[in-house]
Structure 1
């Protein structure tokens, strides 16, 4: 984890659909520059924007569950693990509005600043390269996902989390 300063401010993102409260079962796949995370959605809690979105159909013989696949581009770093919803108050940003079952961008991220500082010993270090990254947090029932990336996009798919993630990973 990282230590926050007075500058860190989590801002909730409405551009991501609500994950399942009970069992989102997030699963991710990553390489050096991109990362995809898929999770089950809470269909009856989708905003009007997401309720109207077209979901790609399931594969033959797969489930009809609604999932989100979030593709993060130009990923610099990520973490996936604790805290869960019952220990969420231990997250260093919980007292600043970070909460379970939601998505956030952390403005003025200490994590990003600490990694930029760590990189300063690199002979070709350029601080301006770090200005393109954003700190994203997706909080689920049993895990929290954090990522430093340039951007993300979301698609909806029907099927099991593993299956939709496998299909999405093979599309590029």
Structure 2
């Protein structure tokens, strides 16, 4: 079983992804829509990203939707911002309200080591990337082949509707 809270190996390198909107610090929690191999995460974006990903109307509450393709692992849960220091990648630079990729991920290596005959995980897409997004009350982790920002929308309801439509 894959355990993301095992101590990271020395090769884990946390890199900030600036091409994805940062999560808002004081807003609603993220929302996941998932199928067998696709995960779409929607969340409110930080006000500091409104200009970069806008424009938005004053009444808007901007949310983004991010698609993770060929997902072999995902989770949403603790730790949140207040206790992010307990996450094994905190010492490698994991920061609050940010989107990260873990280069040379020990989690990806652990998943790749699962024998092909024992699970469908080993037969998944050959390129695996480890993504981590930190929120107020939780952390999202995912191992997938890639990510795509499918849109930044004026409201969470619109982002969720788009997520449901695209996960099929």
Q: Same fold (TM over 0.5)?
A: yes
| Larger relative helix fraction | 1
Give RMSD over aligned pairs: 2.6
1:81 and 2:77 are equivalent in the alignment: yes
Other-structure match for 2:53? 50
CA separation in 2, counterparts of 1:42 and 1:136?
19
CA separation in 1, counterparts of 2:24 and 2:69?
24
1:16-27 equivalences under 5 Å are 16-27=20-31
Larger radius of gyration: 1
Other-structure match for 1:95? 91
Cα distance, 1:2 vs. partner? 3.7
Other-structure match for 2:108? 112
Cα distance, 1:98 vs. partner? 0.5
Other-structure match for 1:135? 130
CA separation in 1, counterparts of 2:111 and 2:143?
10
Native 8 Å contact 1:83 1:91 kept in 2: yes
Question: Which of 15, 19, 31 does residue 15 from structure 1 map onto?
Answer: 19
- TM-score between both structures, scaled by the size of structure 2: 0.84
Other-structure match for 2:40? 36
Q: Which runs of 5+ in 1 are unaligned?
A: 58-62
Q: For this pair of structures, how many residues does the alignment match?
A: 161
